Amino acid sequence: MPLHKDDPKSVGGYRLVDRLGAGGMGVVYRGRSRSGREVAVKVVHAQYAEDPVFRTRFRQEIAAVRKVSGAFTASVVDADPEAGRPWMATQYVPGSSLAARVRERGPLPEDEARRLALGLVEALRDIHRAGVVHRDLKPANVLIADDGPRVIDFGISRAAENNALTETGQMIGTPPFMSPEQLTDARSVGPASDVFSLGSLLVFMLTGRGPFDADNPYLTAYRVVHTEPALGGVRQPLRAMVERCLAKAPADRPALAELARELATALPEASADDLPTVAALDETVPAPALRPVPPAPPPPPARRRRLRPLWAATGVIGALALGLTAHLLSGPGQSGGENDAGRKAAPVSRWSDVPDGWQPWQTSVYATAEQGVKKGEAVNYVGFESTQCTADGRSVYCTGGPTLPVRIDALTGRTLWRAEALPPATGQGAYDFTLLGVTDGLMLVEQEHRTEVGGDKVTWTIAALDARTGERLWHRVVKPDQVRPHLFGDTVLAPDESGRSVTARSPRTGAARWTAPLPVGDYCTPADVGRDIRLMCAPGMTSTPTMRLLRLDRSDGSSRSLTVPRLDTLVGTDDGRLLFLDVDRNDHDGLYSRIRLVDPDSGEADSTELAQKCEKPVALADGTLWCATSSGQVTAVSVRTGKQLWRTATSLEQPGTATYDPRARVVYLSSAGGRVAALDARRGTLLWETLPRAERVTGGSQTQVLLHQGALVVATPEGDIFTLDPAHPDRKPVSG
């Protein structure tokens, strides 16, 4: 990964060659000494350098790595914890992580697993002899080098006799590989905790999953403390060894010397020439951005009861001795994206370049525009819409809910104009805006206005604004009793003032092109699929088994109606057919249980049961459905078969609809609080995850992610707008 323009050229006399990883805690570079020796140089972010507690932890990490330096770790070469930005240089070890080895090639053969386990036992024995407890032994922290394993990341280790920084009882680690005592009483953690983690690691080597895997980290932590391990696929005699390692009580676990004897006895004899080793992967992967694991927040309102969190994490998570890697909460059996920290990262090639002059920015649509126009908060809010945005050219256009229509420079985040409401907002009355779209140099919006907050007198209008200046070009009064206005390409379809018919209008002038009647007594939903104008119409207050699929000709408004089985949610099109998702009527949670593909011309429908029910919101692209639960679990489902393709746990709460980047083959989601995650669309691997960028929202509103000229534009329900470079998501934004 190339250096950024604001990266230092050298640190501590080491010339920096490129980046190995970056994130919320700091940056790790590949450096080179004057003699040509390569090292990994970790440099702490400036904001953490000012934190005395973090400096103390960093000193402890350096001391721990120095204590345990040997054949099984990455030795400290140089360090300065007192520098303006503390740094540490460690031995650079080419090699892949155990996480990558299992992810790419599957579980290890039993002999390889025994040999690797013996190397880890020897490593832990050296670490414990130095008086250090690792506390975060997991697949991402085991590097497989040609001459045996290396244990890395002593960022949360501590001396066995030192409780100074754990008196608060804070528990830090990675739930699938933590010990029960880490989750219940962090101050009691001793060497036996690493033995428990070793047992979980053995299960992972042999089966590709952890013994306590669950759908989310809270349930995983609960299982670690209260349930027996899942050991299917682990054969004797290793099974008996693993069972002893995973004993809930530390005193019941075996000593490392005992494990070493058992593993050495079971291994076949081999000569020095033909001793097999666990091969390191030849492939390289991009080093993902990093974040410290945040404290577990209180659960949001959800349809299903969630377990009380058993653990909380501190900001020191993610600091590695050899290279900062993403510390992700997905379990090993859920395609979590654990990084290969100790090897040279390949150049990031999947991401598109951002435009010249672009920089990450963050702004609020309530901020005062430079031209001195009215603040958004002067508008009282009557509806339930969130802020909605669309990008066009070099601009981002937003409105929705109380947000006055606004244009933002996509490169810098600067507010270019903010339009006035109609009538002008004076602090009296209430407004609700909806974004219809941007086309032909115009921004089209719908506005609801009540003369009094909570009053019954309501006026709805649609309006076209000049996209360059924000000037109102035209507006029309509408009555959306049966259908809401919608922009179909170059046609604005809106109800007339009677509410009983729809009129197609020119976006440029507002002139009527044609008018068509609506089915009497039906409520219609615009279906933006294909080139035609389509409406799904059905009686609103009755549970009829059928509905009308109304197609309106763009040229003259002539209509054709099809009667189809009543369907629930139109998601999009697949191979020319309309794709609907049906809710299970017997499920009080309102989950989707069935896919229906409907021919728009004949009305013929095919139905496929979903192997796993989907929760809203749902996205469709490239023959795949992506569903996200309120707790952050993302599932990919095949449209053709209804079967699950992959499932990955993220830290997102209340994620919005997924956005698919076909070039990079990446799926992006964001939480209501502005935490963004990127997942590999084919495998579900969690590539990176950011820190939250906005206030946590407890309502049902969802966030939005847009792809625009290689960058991501994220709009949160509360009106915070920010951008990310997917190749460098850790870059700090400037204020727009």
If pLDDT is split at 50, 70 and 90, which confidence band does 68 have?
low
Q: Please tell me the chain's helix, strand, coil percentages from 3-state DSSP, rounded to the nearest 5.
A: 15, 35, 50
- What integer pLDDT is reported at residue 335 of this predicted model? 35
Tokens coding 20: 């190995």
In a domain, 289, yes or no: yes
Residue 54 has pLDDT above 90, yes or no: no
Contacts 24+ apart (CB under 8 A), 295-298: 296/217, 296/218, 297/653, 297/696
In a domain, 190, yes or no: yes
Peptide bond into 237 cis (omega under 30): yes
Specify the DSSP class assigned to residue 423: S
- What integer pLDDT is reported at residue 462 of this predicted model? 96
Residue 94 has pLDDT above 90, yes or no: no
Residue that has been written with the tokens 């402890």 in this structure: 60
Q: Are strands 512-517 and 644-649 parallel, antiparallel or unpaired?
A: unpaired
Q: What distance lies between CA 480 and its chain's CA centroid?
A: 36
If pLDDT is split at 50, 70 and 90, which confidence band does 154 have?
low
71 Cβ contact partners less than 8 Å away, ≥ 6 residues apart: 126, 148
Contact 266, 102 (CB under 8 A): no
Is there a single domain that holds both residue 136 and residue 82? no
In a domain, 493, yes or no: no
Highest mean pLDDT among 323-337, 473-487, 555-569: 473-487
Coil, helix or strand at residue 261: helix
End residue of a domain, out of 90, 116, 143: 90
Least confident interval from 47-51, 226-230, 499-503: 47-51
Residue 288 has pLDDT above 50, yes or no: no
In a domain, 47, yes or no: yes
- What integer pLDDT is reported at residue 425 of this predicted model? 61
- What integer pLDDT is reported at residue 495 of this predicted model? 93
If pLDDT is split at 50, 70 and 90, which confidence band does 318 have?
very low
Helices within 185-308 (DSSP H only): 191-207, 217-226, 238-245, 256-266
Contact 388, 405 (CB under 8 A): no
- What integer pLDDT is reported at residue 641 of this predicted model? 94
- Section 299-304 average pLDDT: 33
Smallest Cα–Cα separation from 200: which of 331, 40, 345?
331
Residue 144 has pLDDT above 70, yes or no: yes
Least confident interval from 291-305, 362-376, 594-608: 291-305
Question: Interior CA angle at 184 toward 338 and 163, to 5°?
Answer: 90
Question: Which amino acid, 304?
Answer: R
CB-CB neighbours of 569 under 10 Å: 15
542 Cβ contact partners less than 8 Å away, ≥ 6 residues apart: none
CB-CB neighbours of 107 under 10 Å: 17
Smallest Cα–Cα separation from 678: which of 161, 289, 295?
289
- What are the pLDDT digits (tens) for 675-716? 999 999 999 988 888 888 876 554 446 789 999 999 999 998
The model's pTM is 0.55
In 315-393, DSSP assigns E strands to: 361-364, 388-392
Residue that has been written with the tokens 């080098």 in this structure: 145
Specify the DSSP class assigned to residue 377: G
Distance CA 129, CA 203 (A): 25
Is there a single domain that holds both residue 151 and residue 280? yes
End residue of a domain, out of 306, 334, 362: 334
Query: 381 or 611: whose pLDDT is higher?
Result: 611
Average pLDDT, the chain: 78
Is there a single domain that holds both residue 178 and residue 295? yes
- Section 450-479 average pLDDT: 87
- What integer pLDDT is reported at residue 155 of this predicted model? 54
- What integer pLDDT is reported at residue 370 of this predicted model? 35
Element (H or E) spanning 628, and its range?
strand 624-628
- What integer pLDDT is reported at residue 426 of this predicted model? 60
Return left, alpha or beta for 623; rule: phi > 0 is left, psi -120 to 50 is alpha, else beta: left
Burial of 36 (0-12, 13-18, 19+ CB in 10 A): exposed
Smallest Cα–Cα separation from 703: which of 731, 676, 667?
676
Residue 180 has pLDDT above 80, yes or no: yes
Residue 566 has pLDDT above 50, yes or no: yes
Highest mean pLDDT among 54-58, 332-336, 602-606: 602-606
In a domain, 212, yes or no: yes
Cα distances from 649 to residues 216, 317, 347, 476, in angstroms, run: 6, 18, 27, 47
Distance CA 707, CA 712 (A): 5
- What integer pLDDT is reported at residue 626 of this predicted model? 94
136 is known as an active-site residue: yes
- What integer pLDDT is reported at residue 266 of this predicted model? 64
Smallest Cα–Cα separation from 242: which of 257, 228, 222?
228
Is there a single domain that holds both residue 50 and residue 133? no
How far is it between the farthest Cα atoms of the chain? 91
- What integer pLDDT is reported at residue 692 of this predicted model? 85
Is there a single domain that holds both residue 44 and residue 128? no
Residue 27 has pLDDT above 90, yes or no: no
In a domain, 498, yes or no: no
Domain count, the chain: 2
* Catalytic one of 18, 78, 126, 136: 136
Q: What is the CATH classification number for the domain harbouring 50?
A: 3.30.200.20
Residue 90 has pLDDT above 80, yes or no: yes
- Section 267-274 average pLDDT: 42
If pLDDT is split at 50, 70 and 90, which confidence band does 287 have?
very low
Residue 127 has pLDDT above 90, yes or no: no
- What integer pLDDT is reported at residue 453 of this predicted model? 58
In 267-392, DSSP assigns E strands to: 289-290, 361-364, 388-392
Is there a single domain that holds both residue 99 and residue 86? no
Q: What is the CATH classification number for the domain harbouring 186?
A: 1.10.510.10
Smallest Cα–Cα separation from 487: which of 463, 468, 471?
463
Least confident interval from 156-160, 225-229, 288-292, 522-526: 288-292
Is there a single domain that holds both residue 69 and residue 166? no
End residue of a domain, out of 37, 60, 90: 90
In a domain, 486, yes or no: no
- Section 315-322 average pLDDT: 28
- What integer pLDDT is reported at residue 153 of this predicted model? 67
Is there a single domain that holds both residue 67 and residue 159? no
Is there a single domain that holds both residue 75 and residue 103? no
Smallest Cα–Cα separation from 211: which of 192, 197, 190?
197
N-term to C-term CA, the chain:
27
Contact 177, 138 (CB under 8 A): yes
- Section 96-125 average pLDDT: 89
Distance CA 182, CA 221 (A): 10
Is there a single domain that holds both residue 112 and residue 84? no
Is there a single domain that holds both residue 80 and residue 172? no
Look up the domain containing 237 and give its range.
95-334
Distance CA 571, CA 610 (A): 15
Distance CA 30, CA 573 (A): 47
Residue that has been written with the tokens 């054949």 in this structure: 71
Residue 178 has pLDDT above 70, yes or no: yes
Contact 111, 276 (CB under 8 A): yes
Is there a single domain that holds both residue 37 and residue 181? no
- What are the pLDDT digits (tens) for 326-372? 332 233 333 333 333 333 333 445 788 899 999 999 998 864 333 33
436 Cβ contact partners less than 8 Å away, ≥ 6 residues apart: 444, 445, 446, 462, 485, 486, 487, 492
In a domain, 85, yes or no: yes
Buried/exposed 142-155: b ≥16 CB within 10 Å, e otherwise? bbbbeebbbbbbbb
Task: Tell me the Cα Rg of the chain.
Answer: 29
